[in-house]
Amino acid sequence: MRHGKYPLIITFLVPPLILYGVFVLSPYLQAFQISTTDWLGYSTDANSVGLDNFVQLFKDDYVWNAIKNNAILLVLVPVLTITLGLFFATMLNMGGRGGRAGVVGVRGTGAYRLVYFFPQVLSVVIIAVIWQQVYHPNAGILNAALEPFGVNGPSWLGDPRTAFWCVLAVMVWSNVGFYVVLFGAAMQAIPKDIYEAVLLDGASRAVMLRRITIPLLWDTVQVAWIYLAIAALDGFILVQLMTNGGPNFSSDVIGLRMYNTAFASDTKFGYASAIGVVMFFLTLSVAVLALRASRRDRIEFS
C-alpha cells in the first residue's frame, strides 16, 4: 500500500467528516457557547452572561426535582434490569437439568429468548403509547385485572404518587430482554469444563452463579451498567409521552426539563443549553464512575 493511497483517503474520509462536523460536532461546540448567553430563541440578540445560567440553574427547584428523579432512575433501573437479566439468562442458559453436567438451558429456551426480545425491536414511542393504555384507569388491562380482587386501582399515570414509578417499571420492562440475550451470549462463551469441574467438587447452583458465572461475566455486566446508566439519565421519550413530566412535575426528568425550556412554553435557548451542558457532565461522570467502581481484573479464556 504505497502509491496512490491519498486520493482514496481523501474521497473516503472528507465527505463523512464534513457531514459529521456540520451536524454533530458544530452543534455540540455551539451548545457550550450558547449556554453562556441569555439567548431567548428567535431573536438575534444574545448577550454573554458568563456563568449566570449555571448559577440560576443551581437555584432552580424544578431542575433539582428533575435531577432527583434521574438519580432514582440511575440507581434502580440498572440494578433491577441487570438483576432480572442475569436471573433469566442463567435460567435460560443453565437452568436445565441433565445434559452435560447440568449446564444446559431449560426447555423452551428459544421461545423465551424470542419473546423476551420483543420490546427491544419496538420503538420507544410504541412502548410508551401501549403502556399508557395499559395503565389507563378505565380501559386499561391493569385495573381490569385488579378488579376481580376487589381492588379499585388508582389512575396510575394521573396520580403523583404512582406516575413516576409506572414510568420506571416500563423502563425496566423494555430493557430486560436485551440484557437477557446479551448476558446469554456471554454465558455461552464460558467454557463448559469450568462448570463440570466445580460440579464435581459439589458446588451448588447458587455458589456456581456467584463464584463462577458472575465473575466471568463481569466485563459484560460493566458495559450493561454504563449503557443503562446513560439510558436512565435520559428517559426523555418515555416520560414525555406517558406523563409529560406530570402530574405536578412528579415524573419530570432533566431531559424533559431541557426540552420544555427550549421548545415548549418558552424558548430560553441559553438556559436550556446550560441544562444540556450539565447533563453532559453528569453523563460523563456517571460513565467514568461506573467504569472505576466496577473495575476488576480482566479474565480471559485461553
Hey, which residues between 50 and 79 contact another protein (CB under 8 A)?
none
Q: How far is CA 187 from CA 25, 28, 132, 197, 297, in A?
A: 38, 38, 35, 16, 18
Query: Which triple of cell numbers denotes residue 59?
Result: 437555584
Q: Does 17 bind another protein (CB under 8 A)?
A: yes
The DSSP code sequence of 167-233 is HHHHHHHHHHHHHHHHHHHHHHTS-HHHHHHHHHTT--HHHIIIIIIHHHHHHHHHHHHHHHHHHHH
Nearest distance from C-beta of residue 227 to another protein, angstroms: 7
From the list 57-65, 72-80, 159-167, 283-291, the region that binds another protein by CB under 8 A is 283-291
Closest to 198 measured CA to CA, from 186, 208, 190: 208
Q: Determine how many CB atoms are found less than 10 A away from the CB of residue 99.
A: 11
- Residue linked to cell 454504563: 226
From the list 55-63, 149-157, 219-227, 294-302, the region that binds another protein by CB under 8 A is 219-227
**Among 66, 73, 262, 290, interactor with another protein by CB under 8 A:** 262
**Among 86, 176, 232, 290, interactor with another protein by CB under 8 A:** 176
DSSP 37: B
Q: Does 188 bind another protein (CB under 8 A)?
A: no
Cα–Cα dist 129/139, whole Å: 13
From the list 51-59, 138-146, 154-162, 289-297, the region that binds another protein by CB under 8 A is 138-146
- Residue linked to cell 439510558: 231
Query: Which triple of cell numbers denotes residue 188?
Result: 455461552
Three-state SS for 39?
A: coil
Across the strands, what pairs with 48?
37
Hey, which residues between 147 and 166 contact another protein (CB under 8 A)?
none
Q: Does 289 bind another protein (CB under 8 A)?
A: no
From the list 9-17, 57-65, 73-81, 294-302, the region that binds another protein by CB under 8 A is 9-17
Q: Does 292 bind another protein (CB under 8 A)?
A: no
**Among 59, 121, 201, 301, interactor with another protein by CB under 8 A:** 121
From the list 51-59, 71-79, 137-145, 291-299, the region that binds another protein by CB under 8 A is 137-145
**Among 63, 69, 93, 112, interactor with another protein by CB under 8 A:** 112
**Among 82, 166, 182, 221, interactor with another protein by CB under 8 A:** 182
Q: Does 283 bind another protein (CB under 8 A)?
A: yes
Nearest distance from C-beta of residue 284 to another protein, angstroms: 7
Cα–Cα dist 232/227, whole Å: 9
Q: Does 117 bind another protein (CB under 8 A)?
A: yes
